Amino acid sequence: MRDTFRREINYLRVSVTDRCNLRCVYCMPPEGVKFLPHDEVLRTEEIEAVIRAGTRVGIKKIRLTGGEPLVRKGIRNLVRRVANIPGIDDITMTTNGILLPLHAAALKEAGLKRVNISLDTLKNERYREITRVGELAAAWKGIQTALDVGLHPVKLNTVVVRGINDDEVEALARLTLNRALHIRFIEIMPIGDSNSWSKGRFVPAGEIMEKISRRIGRLIPAKTVRGNGPAKYYRFEGAAGTVGFITAMSDHFCESCNRLRLTSSGGLRPCLYDSREIDMRTPLRRGAEEKELVDLIRDAIDMKPDRHHMHDGWVDSKRVMSQIGG
């Protein structure tokens, strides 16, 4: 289905939980957030019902997010159920990787195609500072496990923050020279409680690209790496992996946006930066027929704005990023 700006909407990002085993500084406040009561989080069968209805209007691709999706009980069962929905041809997950060694093989067998893993630094102490509670070795074990079980392409998401990790972009880019890893440098966005923390820390993708080109070598435009994301990809001569740039702030890609977001509490959002939501949980729990769910999804698609307004700052007073789904 196309929205009012003629964009084809075929991608649904599903937040399966608002809980996380990390407390990243750009994602949530130091004290964390107040987690939803369990009965307010969509059940597995409810998520499945929304996705099935979504296929009626052209949804084909699903990304499972959180919080941290691997902390949700029954995540393997959810993946299997989604994989069995006719019309769904791609199921992926965004994770911090910590729990992948426990789950990766089973998720692959259930139908998960690939993963995006957050990795903002290669320094142990810095990883602990950014995540507040995490260990870099655990994340690396998750990355290696994803490679070992064949969740390819394995993409690494790096949010670049001036004065925090911008001195590591060269080292991170070098990971792609000899490993089949696909790193994506992401411009920091003003999100919830990180608004004040992120001021003055923005690093444009052009600056990152210039720095790593000067120090490593020319970046050659590369074919888009499998997936439905907005990154522009490049590779170094002879490299095993690629380097991507996600320019949400300096060069937005809204004209090609193809996604909706389903929050863990059942709100269907047309845009990350649009606080409007369509309540899916209430009709689901009163036994709505699929046609009603389809009509609600159509309404969400019709609500999609022409572009985000990130430069105006975060406008949602009720949720932060970890409660919406990355």
What's the whole-model pTM score?
0.92
Domain topology for 11-324: TIM Barrel (3.20.20)
Give the three-class secondary structure for 297. Answer: helix
Residue 317 predicted with pLDDT over 60: no
In DSSP terms, which residues pair with 117 in a beta bridge? 95, 156
Residue 250 has a CB neighbour count (10 Å cut-off) of 13
Structure token pair of residue 229: 């994301």
pLDDT in tens, 6-26: 999 999 999 999 999 998 887
Mean local confidence (pLDDT), 186-199: 65
Q: How far apart, in whole angstroms, are the C-alpha atoms of residue 177 and residue 175?
A: 6
Q: How confident is the model at residue 154 (pLDDT cuts 50, 70, 90)?
A: very high
Residue 322 predicted with pLDDT over 60: no
Q: What is the DSSP string of 206-221?
A: HHHHHHHHHHT-PEEE
Q: How far apart, in whole angstroms, are the C-alpha atoms of residue 187 and residue 207?
A: 11
Residue 312 predicted with pLDDT over 70: no
Structure token pair of residue 82: 């989604």
Q: How confident is the model at residue 35 (pLDDT cuts 50, 70, 90)?
A: confident
Distance of CA 189 to the CA centre of its chain: 13
pLDDT in tens, 217-268: 999 999 888 775 778 999 999 999 999 999 877 766 688 899 999 999 999 9
Q: How confident is the model at residue 91 (pLDDT cuts 50, 70, 90)?
A: very high
Q: What is the 3-state secondary structure (H, E, C) of 4-47?
A: CCCCECCEEEEECCCCCCCCCCCCCCCCCCCCCCHHHCCCHHHH
| Higher pLDDT among residues 33 and 45, named by residue | 45
Residue 318 predicted with pLDDT over 90: no
Task: Identify the pLDDT of residue 255.
Answer: 83
In terms of Cα–Cα distance, which of 214, 221, 210 is closest to 243? Answer: 221
| H/E run at residue 245 | strand 242-246
Q: What is the mean pLDDT of the chain?
A: 90
CB within 8 Å of 221: residues ≥ 6 apart: 233, 234
Residue 313 predicted with pLDDT over 60: no
Looking up tokens 């964390």 gives: 32
Residue 192 predicted with pLDDT over 60: no
pLDDT in tens, 40-82: 999 999 999 999 999 999 999 999 999 999 999 999 999 999 9
- Sign, CA dihedral 189-204-153-120, equals negative
pLDDT in tens, 120-130: 999 999 999 99
| H/E run at residue 49 | helix 44-55
Mean local confidence (pLDDT), 294-317: 77
